[in-house]
Amino acid sequence: MSDVIAKISGPVGHITLNRAKALHALNTQMCADISKALLDWRSNDSVKIIVIDHAEDTRGFCAGGDIKPMAISGQGDGVEVRKFFETEYRMNVQLFEYPKPVVTFMDGLTMGGGVGLSIHGSHSIATENTVFAMPETGIGLFPDVGGGWFLPRLGGGLGQWLGLTGARLKGGDVAAAGIATHFVESKVLPAIKEMVLLGDLEVLEAMEWEEYGSFIKQIDIINACFEKDTVEEIFQALEDNGSEWALKQLSIMKTKCPFSMKVTHRQLIEGGKLETFKDVMAMEFRLANRSVARPDFAEGVRAVVVDKDNAPKWEPAELSGVSETDLEAMFAPLERGELTFL
């Protein structure tokens, strides 16, 4: 059976992720299938609403992109991984610009590419089972799929905290942070989904949830420590704060890829200034193509996915070793002949 099931049901174009053994991790074909369905249904007047969900009885909505083949391609000629990013990012832009309501049920693990699939539409529904994270700095990457757009627009230092540390938000916290648009308990989710699949969006507007998430207890520290001009200043601010929570964040960041943290910090600052989502995605496309060719990405995938020793050896190993020249090169315009996705 296909990894993506796309069908029209009454007034709804229904997309279901169906790769349960891989927690619905996205590959190029899955992104292409979703993109094609969105394109077909865009001009179909009988389709009023798009619904995206995942096959039942799995704990993940979408665990992200399928990174192992990406690492192999990135260390080779890079053709396949560039094709993946081109296809995935085009899908992200489609969702962001879609002229019809797009309702995503992010019931379960929602990380990386799963975030890009779920939050750019009009309605994203979290449940107590939802676990959100952008953990890319732990594998030598950066929070892509539009992270440069939505993270800096969360306000304060929240986006930098999530992007740099890979912190997880659970349940209602995902909506409270402004990432999901709605929260509903999973026990009533089937009834809610049934109504949406009949074309009823009013049921979503009637939902209420806790306004503030558990992270609000630390929001003053997050804003004071993560709204800084450099990653080094963030490190120092956390150390100076000295609280148990701040020192824990510092300890977590010291395990992340130094180069990736530098890229991420600048990505979110630059993304916060850019005026269109397409501009952000063009920036991230440049960053993605270059990041996967770096040894840090292959090492991160080895440590987390292949050997699972969680002991990556980053190059460089410290923030002080990151060259500004190398960092500038990551953000430079694409060379002639490199792929573009728009």
Q: What is the mean pLDDT of residues 69-86?
A: 85
The domain spans of the chain are: 1-342
Characterize the bridge pairing of strands 12-17 and 102-106.
Answer: unpaired
Out of 3, 88, 107, 144, pick the active-site residue: 144
Is residue 144 among the annotated active site residues?
A: yes
List, for residues 4-62, the tens digit of each pLDDT value: 999 999 999 999 999 999 999 999 999 999 999 999 999 999 999 999 999 977 789 99
- In degrees and rounded to multiples of 5, residue 247 shows phi and psi of -70, -30
The Cα 331–Cα 73 span in angstroms is 21
Q: How far is CA 242 from CA 39, 237, 249, in A?
A: 52, 9, 11
Of 32, 261, 284, residue with least CA distance to 148: 284
113, 157, 213, 300: the active-site residue: 113
Report in angstroms the alpha-carbon separations of 256 from 70, 259, 284, 303. 19, 9, 19, 12
Q: Record the tokens describing residue 29, joined without a space.
A: 């074909």
Could you confirm whether domain 1-342 is CATH 3.10.20.740?
Answer: no
Query: What are the DSSP calls for 195-255, one per residue?
Result: HHHTT--HHHHT----SS-GGGGGHHHHHHHHS-SSHHHHHHHHHHH--HHHHHHHHHHTT
Residue 296, class by beta-carbon neighbours within 10 Å (0-12 exposed, 13-18 middle, 19+ buried)? Answer: buried
Catalytic position from the list 13, 65, 138, 271:
65
Residue from 33, 86, 136, 299 carrying the catalytic annotation:
136
Q: How confident is the model at residue 67 (pLDDT cuts 50, 70, 90)?
A: confident
Give percent above pLDDT 90 in the chain.
86
Between 79 and 238, residue with greater pLDDT: 238
Q: How many residues does the chain have?
A: 342
Whether 146 is catalytic is no
113 labelled catalytic: yes
- Whether 208 sits among the annotated catalytic residues: the reply is no
Q: What pLDDT, on a 0 to 100 scale, did the predictor assign at position 340? A: 61
pLDDT at position 71 is: 77
Round the average pLDDT of the chain to a whole number and report it.
Answer: 94
Stated pTM of the model: 0.95
pLDDT at 189 over 70: yes
